[in-house]
Homo-oligomer: A and B are copies of this chain.
Amino acid sequence: MSDLTHFNEEGRARMVDVSDKEATSRTAQAASSVRVNKEIYEKIRAGEIGKGDVLGTAQIAGIMAAKQTSTIIPMCHPLPLSGIDISFDWVVKDQTHTLEITGSVKTTGKTGVEMEALTCVSAVALTVYDMCKALDKGMVIGPTYLLEKTGGKSGDFARPPEHK
């Protein structure tokens, strides 16, 4: 596929016609992150252990946003998502504290779920920012990117390791 298929003959946006595609099993996995200062890092970690779970709240936001992808992204097809899972990892080095976010989405549908996975991790990161911004507004979200996808006519995609 070598063209911007989201445009019709008048050159304006359309939702691409996928009527003739098969409804097959598809998965996508995306990554984002939030770089926070040491104070926020410590408070989130403490919250994880007891209650006051920043990551738990962010995770729910990510799941709900994934389900809303086709209402947020104009040309995105509505898809009946069959599974959403999010995981976290902390990378602490050289005085930086980075929360790494991975979101996995599955469907049986006519188009892929790349946008659902990317929207999911974006909402997770935004919610972490929201819940910690009283402490520091200088947090940085992302980079945000697709890790891999499977299924569909365009074939599988896996991000080369050196670009992660």
Binding site for B on A (CB under 8 A): 1-19, 21, 25, 32, 43, 47-48, 50-57, 59-61, 63-68, 70-88, 106-110, 114-115, 118-119, 122-123, 125-127, 129-135, 137-146, 149, 154, 157, 159, 163
Contacts and interface: CB of A to CB of B under 8 A. Distances in A.
A140 B143 contact: yes
A143 B142 contact: yes
A70 B61 CA distance: 11
Interface SS, A side: mixed
A13 B78 contact: no
B61 A3 contact: no
Nearest to A35: B143
A4 B132 CA distance: 6
Contacts of A88: 10
A40 B108 CA distance: 29
Contact of A129 (B79, B115, B140, B157): B115
A29 to B, nearest CB: 12
A72 B123 contact: yes
A148 to B, nearest CB: 9
A40 to B, nearest CB: 8
B64 A74 contact: yes
A91 to B, nearest CB: 15
Contacts of A60: 13, 57, 60-61, 74
A104 to B, nearest CB: 9
Nearest to A54: B4
B154 A63 contact: no
15 contacts: A12-B51, A12-B52, A14-B85, A15-B84, A48-B51, A53-B53, A53-B56, A56-B56, A60-B61, A61-B72, A67-B71, A72-B72, A73-B127, A75-B127, A118-B129
